[in-house]
Amino acid sequence: MPSDAKARRAASKKKAALNRKQALNGGDGGVSSEASSLNGDSAPVTPAMSANNSTNNLAAMVGDLDLQAAARAVTGVLASHPDARDVQISSLSISFHGAELLTDTNCELNMGRRYGLIGANGCGKSSLLSVLGNREVPIPDHVDIFHLKREMPPSDKTALECVMEVDQTRLYLEKEAEELAVKTDDDQAHDRLMEIYERLDELEADKALVRAGKILFGLGFSKQMQHTAVKNFSGGWRMRISLARALFISPALLLLDEPTNHLDLEACVWLEQELRNYKRILVLISHSQDFLNGVCTNIIHMTKKKLQYFGGNYDSFVQTKAEMDENQQKRYKKEQDEIAHMKSKEKTLKKMVDAGLTERVTSDKTLMFYFYECGKVPPPVIMVQNVDFRYSEDKPFIYKDLDFGFDLDTRLALVGPNGAGKSTLLKLIAGELHPTTGLIRTNPHVKIGRYHQHLAENLDMDLSALEFMMKEFPEVKERDEMRKIIGRYGLSGQQQMCPIRNLSDGQRCRVAFSWLSWQTPHILLLDEPTNHLDIETIDSLANAINLFDGGMILVSHDFRLISQVAQEIWVCENQKVTKWEGDIFSYKEALVKRVNKELASKA
């Protein structure tokens, strides 16, 4: 039975919650019964959805996800208490199209922890998040889930409205609080009531509009952009809106799959600081070692169809894993030496075998990306002379008076905020766009290869990787020779033979890289090449770039990759391109100071 003081506190909070609800909804108490399991893509489709195409596209995306879910077989048992805030699933097994991803393992997610989920491309990390997000395993109803998996569909609603509409969870909690408040003799109901009030305090219900605006601002939305219709944004910006919704709702279980893929470096810095203060459960897939180090309290390693748990960030995981492997290899060697001397003592040997022998440590297969020799071209290779550029006469200039050059020794990274023109500059260099005024002179013998974020999406999904490459490069007559070319990028056996649509995003990117490298370009223009690649694959890419005998210009939000391959940092901002005097980490420090200053001014 609650004390009088607690009862008065509960009554006070109930009244405050009711007032907040009336302020936000004009007294309308309507609530979605599914608010406690809101997914990142579950925005209600309202009459504000402007085009039939948008609805059709959304239906197609939902249908694709439904097909993936139908192709999964999942088993698991809830091991945590039904009322606990932790989520523990035992005997978890997941298969996809009959291929086992996880077998009889445990999923343990504890409140207040921020988990980095790592593993090789194609091992099933995204599938695991989908299983949790879709509640394909038993998860208590009171654990609300938000799974960020795709961008907001185009609509007439503004970015701010799209973020505010996920307020349904708050309304659901306030309605539940009203129902529980009348159960004055129920201790369990009282405990749940106190938990709900704490949750409403966390959500800052009376400051919802301001908080939504701050989140959007941190992700790069100006005040004008916050009031712009979603249909006017590109897919990358619509993904940011989905991310803002996830952060705004602050669910008990937040599932983020590569949240930095569509962010510039400044937004990555802001998001890192935002997530490192997340107080509930976060499970994060990211290819950025730097980002994982800044955010995570724990690492989950998905390997050999099991989930392994490590305390600390990614660097701690690497150190601990190396020590564990070293100790395991020592035990293995000792046992093998004992076995060699015991072959005559069958009974003793049998006891050792029955007790379980130590497995030999086997390293994951290391990929060896490779860019073929391009040959020498005398300078100047590319000259940018007095270039101004804008997309049309009614648009502002993106660049004014650019003047510089590139050669085969160029190793630089372009940084700067979204919209500053980094990708535009790569397109100008590649000849896909033409200057409004000025000239870009390219040596006629130079081949330029541009990798961009959508290259893998433009592959012929109905062909296999082998068929696609044979079609693109008919001069390669032998299938076995082409198999070796593709195999350099970690695709072998069935992965080369199945339709590209059945490959993971990371595997599709490898097909795109094999296509790019076989063109033997002299200059590599790499626009966000790390999207959908795992950390080991990114390291292989960095090694290939460093061994490449041509030039390289990189746009990336991955601080670590930039530090590995770029000798110069050029900043694209305010219609100019200027050299940064320092390395990428000094640039990051400057961004942190700028972000903190801007947020302080908005407080």
User: What domain range is 428 assigned to?
Assistant: 382-602
Residues 426 and 348 in one domain: no
Is the domain of 538 the same as that of 411? yes
Same-domain check for residues 432 and 576? yes
B/e letters for 540-565, b = 16+ CB within 10 Å, e = fewer, are bbbbbbeebebbbbbbbbbbbbbbbb
Query: What would the mean pLDDT of 228-245 be, rounded to a whole number?
Result: 91
3-state secondary structure of 72: strand
Give the β-pairing of 253-257 and 382-389: unpaired
Peptide bond into 396 cis (omega under 30): no
Mean pLDDT of the chain: 84
Which element (helix H / strand E) includes 253? strand 253-257
d(CA 89, CA 101): 16
**Is 74 a domain residue?**
no
Among 64-68, 115-119, 170-174, 219-223, the range with the most confident prediction by mean pLDDT is 115-119
* 347 and 420, same domain (yes or no): no
Instruction: Report the alpha-carbon distance of residue 448 to residue 459 in Å, rounded.
Output: 19
Q: Are 371 and 517 in contact (CB under 8 A)?
A: yes
pLDDT of residue 41: 38
Instruction: Note whether 452 and 580 are same-domain residues.
Output: yes
Q: Is residue 474 part of a domain?
A: yes
One-letter amino acid of 44: P
Domain identity same for 408 and 498: yes
Tell me, yes or no, whether 215 lies in a domain. Answer: no
- 29 domain-assigned: no
Q: Convert 400-411 into a string of H (helix), E (strand) and C (coil).
A: EEEEEEECCCCE
Q: Tell me the per-residue pLDDT of 286-302, one tens digit each, with 9 for 90 and over.
A: 999 999 999 999 999 99
Q: Is the dihedral of CA 336, 340, 341, 346 positive or negative?
A: positive
Each as own residue / partner, the long-range contacts of residues 18-25 (CB below 8 Å, 24 or more positions apart, any chain) are: 18/174, 18/178, 20/170, 20/174, 20/200, 20/205, 20/206, 21/170, 21/171, 21/174, 23/206, 24/167, 24/170, 24/171, 24/205, 24/208, 25/171
Model pLDDT, residue 224: 94
> Does 65 score more than 60 pLDDT?
no
For the chain, what percent of residues have pLDDT higher than 70?
A: 83
Residue 361 inside a domain? The answer is no
Last residue of one domain, picked from the residues 354, 373, 405: 354
Q: Are residues 498 and 560 in the same domain?
A: yes
- Our measurement of the distance from residue 11's CA atom to the centroid of its chain's CA atoms, rounded to an integer in Å, reads 42
Tell me the CA distances in angstroms from 101 to 73, 92, 115, 282, one per residue in order: 10, 10, 19, 22
Rounded Cα distance between 175 and 173, Å, is 5
- Indicate yes or no: pTM above 0.85: no
Same domain, 483 and 538: yes
Distance CA 356, CA 353 (A): 5
In a domain, 506, yes or no: yes
Mapped onto helix, strand or coil, the DSSP state of residue 367 is coil
User: How many domains does the chain fold into?
Assistant: 2
Residue 528 lies in a domain: yes
Distant-in-sequence, close-in-space partners of 6: CB < 8 Å, separation ≥ 6: 190, 194
216: pLDDT strictly greater than 50: yes
Does residue 551 sit in helix, strand or coil?
strand
- Neighbouring CB atoms inside 10 A of 397's CB total 14
- If asked whether residues 509 and 388 sit together in one domain, one would say yes
Query: In this structure, what are the phi and psi dihedrals at residue 311, rounded to the nearest 5 degrees?
Result: -85, 150
Domain presence at residue 41: no
Question: What pLDDT sits at residue 62?
Answer: 46
CA distance 258 to 531: 8
Average pLDDT over residues 252-276: 92
Q: For residues 329 and 434, state if they share a domain.
A: no
CATH number at residue 584: 3.40.50.300
Residues 511 and 560 reside in one and the same domain:
yes
Q: Is 43 exposed, middle or buried (0-12, 13-18, 19+ CB in 10 A)?
A: buried
**pLDDT higher than threshold 50 for residue 47:** no
Residue type for 479, please?
A: R
As given in the structure block, the two tokens for residue 92 are 């978890």
- 577 within 8 A of 425, measured Cβ to Cβ: yes
For residue 378, name the pLDDT band (cuts at 50, 70, 90).
Answer: confident
pLDDT category of residue 48 using cuts at 50, 70 and 90 = very low
Do 447 and 341 lie in a common domain? Answer: no
